[in-house]
Homo-oligomer: A and B are copies of this chain.
Amino acid sequence: MKTITPLENEPSAWSPRIGETVTLHGMLYKIREMSGFAFLLLQTRAQLFQCVWSPDFSGFPLEGLRPGSAVEVTGLVAAEPRSRAGFELRLLTCQVLNRPVPEEPPVVVNNREIPASLETLLDYRPLTLRHQKERAIFRVQSALCAGFRQYLLENGFTEIHTPKLVSGGAEGGTEVFTFDYFGHPACLAQSPQLYKQMLTGVFERVFEIAPAFRAEKHDTARHINEYTSVDLEMGFVRSFYDIMRTETALIRSALAYVRESCAEELRLLGAEVPEIAAIPSLPFDEAKAKIAARFHRPITDPLDFDPEEEKLLGMLIKEETDSDFVFVTHYRSAKRPFYTMDTPGNPEVTESFDLLFRGMEVTTGGQRIHDWQTQTNKLRARGIDPAAFESYLSAHRYGLPPHGGLGIGLERFTARLLGFDNVRRTTLFPRDTHRLTP
């Protein structure tokens, strides 16, 4: 019998000292042959290092090395003011651990930009993600999730894992993917909505970061059919403003985390992370009127925004308040799901909100109905048989705290943060009406 002891991991942040000899592993990113020597860019887990090969000190031939080779090198750290890091690595030895197939790749991914259409970028994802900038996008996304979770755990939220396989028509109405579950009709969850509400009666505050599935046929830059939803739900709210205040704190905290942990990625992407002190908020009707007045646009749909209006509202708020974010509140009842609480005294509108980030909706949230009778009545008023929601309503029967919550579209949020118009750019392997691979 052997004994397995814990792996001692090398420290994540490595600060090389001039004059020391180090061993690094990584993927060869680029080889630039000069006259009599060569620059090799090595992509390590942390960053890209400039290495120098020269017959004067490198005890191995350059031949046979290609971008995509996995290598372990030893080298001497030498001062080099012209390299961004302030040093370069003079290669002494190089062990090749794996080689790519010797052929030209279909896309060049080691220049400053990838010269390819979005389609090509997505078709060759296993290759194109290796580009410095593509990789940086998803390191920021990883940090964003870590930042969200850090805030939530510190503020008493319990992480939950709710089922994605649900019985037919779980959330009512809208388009879902359906399949056969051992002889029973089933569908893929569009959100953890009903489960997270039920669980406010158990944990008071819950969150989940998980896939959500929408069978919508929209083929736009804002839509994908599988996305990552950052969901939270909290009990004992006094009003839906408490949820907006929580989201303000959550985003401020997550962006601070990103700023601190992804400085190099943000520089590479030329992204600016906004500072948040407070977020302006205005009711939907007022926002509609404001856009119409400022941009001389007629109001064609008084019940909802179109994407252009969201963009204009974002511009307008940025002008007026310098905020990249704006809350829009009191959406029309007719446009919100059955669990949304109507505004007391004005049942035409709801205790709900969206958050717009740089002109695009990234969050929908609001207070929910906690009273069993009120929820049952609202279902009936919408022509839905409460029996179809028996288990959901049982949570109301046993008593739920006043509660509300929100969902943030992770890919959309990342896109707005990093300045991408198409949400596919911030999805590792996007799924849309035309794309199921890679």
Contacts and interface: CB of A to CB of B under 8 A. Distances in A.
Interface of A: 1-9, 12, 25-27, 44-46, 66-70, 72, 97-101, 103, 105, 124-127, 129-130, 135, 138-139, 141-142, 145-146, 149, 153-156, 158-167, 177-182, 184, 186, 188, 195, 198-199, 201-205, 210-211, 213, 215, 217, 225-226, 228, 235-236, 241-242, 244-246, 248-249, 252, 276-282, 286, 320-321, 327, 370-372, 391-392, 394-402, 410, 427-431, 433-434, 436-438
A433 B398 contact: no
Contact of A146 (B159, B195, B217): B159
B401 A278 contact: no
B281 A12 contact: no
Q: Quickly give the copy total for this chain.
A: 2
Nearest to A71: B401
Given A98-B371, A153-B146, A225 B165 contact: yes
Going nearest first, the 6 A-B pairs with the smallest beta carbon separation are A68-B399, A100-B399, A391-B438, A6-B249, A7-B245, A179-B179
A138 B142 CA distance: 24
B401 A135 contact: no
A399 B12 contact: no
Contact of A236 (B46, B72, B235): B72
A154 B320 CA distance: 41
Contact of A156 (B9, B100, B101, B436): B9
Contacts of A3: 278-281
A113 to B, nearest CB: 17
A322 to B, nearest CB: 12
Given A126-B395, A236-B25, A437-B391, A431 B7 contact: no
B204 A44 contact: yes
A249 B9 contact: yes
Mostly helix, strand, loop or mixed at chain A's interface? mixed
Contacts of A252: 6
A427 B164 CA distance: 13
Given A97-B401, A101-B398, A167-B436, 5 more contacts: A6-B252, A142-B158, A146-B153, A146-B159, A161-B228
Contacts of A101: 372, 396-398
Contact of A4 (B124, B141, B279): B279
Contact of A126 (B177, B236, B394, B437): B394
B278 A45 contact: no
B401 A25 contact: yes
A16 B281 CA distance: 37
Contact of A179 (B5, B44, B177, B242): B177
Given A163-B226, A184-B436, A2 B282 contact: yes
B280 A2 contact: yes
A7 B248 contact: yes
Nearest to A245: B7
Nearest to A177: B179
A267 B436 CA distance: 47
A21 to B, nearest CB: 19
B1 A282 contact: yes
Contacts of A45: 156, 203-205
Contact of A124 (B72, B278, B394): B394
Nearest to A163: B429
Contact of A9 (B12, B155, B400): B155
